[in-house]
A = this chain, B = another copy of it.
Amino acid sequence: MSEFTNVTIVREANVYFNGGVVSRTVIFPDGTKKTLGFMQPGEYTFNTGAPEIMEILSGELDLKLPGSELWDRIGGGESFDVPANSAFTMRVHALTDYCCSFVG
């Protein structure tokens, strides 16, 4: 178990794909943001604005990054980077807990 301290959290959830993906926004003292989110099994494509680092806290999914035709299996404890202004697709096989950092 780990914690973020001295942060601001937005109370209301961010809801995507009819609740298949739900996250909460955390704002750090330096103004940077992360979301803590949870995914039900399903297939989800997200568009990015800023570059993102997705850290999978627990769960299992297959990932297709922009420009790739290959699917990579990602599990708990693994991370992946997503470029700015792109799209990535996840096929979520098990309940998946994640932390997404918005960078740059």
- Give the B-binding residues of A (Cβ under 8 A): 1-13, 15, 18-19, 22, 24, 26-27, 36, 38, 40, 57-58, 95, 97, 99
Contacts and interface: CB of A to CB of B under 8 A. Distances in A.
A37 to B, nearest CB: 9
Contact of A19 (B1, B36, B40): B40
A36 B15 CA distance: 13
B9 A4 contact: yes
User: What 9 A-B pairs have minimum CB-CB distances, sorted nearest first?
Assistant: A19-B95, A5-B8, A13-B97, A22-B38, A2-B11, A3-B8, A4-B9, A13-B38, A3-B10
A8 B29 CA distance: 12
Nearest to A22: B38
A8 B2 CA distance: 10
A58 to B, nearest CB: 7
A1 B10 contact: yes
